[in-house]
């Protein structure tokens, strides 16, 4: 019997679908831990026999895991997708985040205070800019970050495109199940 390579990045499509929502959870975690309930079938459809289950705890700072996630492909794929998000990387540079997916598929995102040593690395102006919310309307975002309106418009269009893509995928899945 031949040895087939292990399928890597099984969960990247799933995590990419929820990337804007997860980045929003990260932004809102500044005030208190945020939660998002996933449907179990979303993970089980990807890999019904996930070794070790789907639950994980992952701590991330400066875009790198601070704990061992080698045993969780689910966590590794989430980190991979978040590392592709400029906003998530910006948030990772300002604080340490903890992501916990429990056995009931509840994702909890919490933010830990930045250690004094890390605060010295970033000037206060950059920290204020990093605290802006992705969910803020265009005018507030431009004022808070001094970004050009064109950049804000591009980011807004990107989020809208992802939402439209998600809706189309869900519609296709529904048609597939009904057909």
User: Which of 99, 123, 147 is the endpoint of a domain?
Assistant: 123
Q: What is the DSSP string of 62-117?
A: TTEESS--TT-HHHHHHHHHHTT-HHHHHHHHHSEEEEEE-TT-EEEEEEEPPPHH
Domain shared by 32 and 92, yes or no? yes
Share of the chain above pLDDT 70, in %: 63
Summarised one tens digit per residue, pLDDT across range 94-139 is 999 999 999 999 999 999 876 545 444 444 444 344 444 444 444 4
Domain shared by 13 and 84, yes or no? yes
Average pLDDT, the chain: 76
Domain shared by 167 and 89, yes or no? no
Summarised one tens digit per residue, pLDDT across range 61-77 is 999 999 999 989 999 99
Domain shared by 148 and 92, yes or no? no
State the total domains in the chain. 2
pLDDT at 20 over 90: yes
Angle CA 110–138–148, to nearest 5: 105
Domain shared by 78 and 156, yes or no? no
Is residue 64 within 8 Å of 128, Cβ to Cβ? no
User: Which of 96, 123, 150 is the endpoint of a domain?
Assistant: 123
* Secondary structure letter of residue 142 according to DSSP: H
pLDDT of residue 50: 78
Is residue 105 within 8 Å of 37, Cβ to Cβ? yes
130 within a domain of the structure (yes/no):
no
User: Which of 123, 149, 171 is the endpoint of a domain?
Assistant: 123
Non-local CB neighbours of 42 within 8 Å, separated by 6+ positions: 14, 105
Angle CA 5–9–12, to nearest 5: 160
117 within a domain of the structure (yes/no):
yes
Is residue 54 within 8 Å of 118, Cβ to Cβ? no
Domain shared by 141 and 112, yes or no? no
Between the CA of residue 64 and those of 68, 156, 162, 179, what are the distances in Å?
11, 27, 25, 43
Domain shared by 108 and 154, yes or no? no
Please tell me the distance from the alpha carbon of residue 136 to that of residue 140, in angstroms, as a whole number.
6
27 within a domain of the structure (yes/no):
yes
Domain shared by 106 and 144, yes or no? no
Which pTM was predicted? 0.60
Summarised one tens digit per residue, pLDDT across range 135-155 is 444 444 334 344 444 444 555
What is the residue range of 163's domain? 136-179
């Amino acid at each position: 019997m031949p040895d087939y390579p292990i399928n890597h990045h099984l969960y990247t499509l799933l995590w990419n679908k929820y990337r804007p929502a997860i980045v929003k959870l990260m932004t809102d975690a500044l005030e208190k831990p945020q939660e998002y309930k996933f449907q179990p079938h979303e993970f089980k459809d990807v890999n019904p026999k996930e070794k070790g289950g789907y639950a994980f705890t992952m701590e991330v700072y400066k875009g790198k895991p601070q704990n061992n996630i080698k045993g969780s492909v689910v966590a590794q794929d989430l980190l991979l997708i978040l590392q592709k998000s400029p906003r998530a990387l910006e948030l990772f540079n300002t604080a340490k985040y903890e992501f916990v997916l429990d056995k009931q598929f509840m994702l909890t995102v919490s933010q830990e205070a930045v250690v004094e040593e890390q605060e010295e690395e970033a000037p206060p102006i950059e920290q204020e800019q990093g605290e802006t919310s992705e969910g803020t309307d265009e005018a507030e975002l431009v004022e808070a970050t001094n970004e050009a309106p064109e950049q804000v418009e591009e980011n807004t269009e990107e989020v809208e495109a992802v939402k439209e893509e998600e809706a189309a995928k869900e519609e296709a899945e529904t048609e597939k199940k009904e057909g």
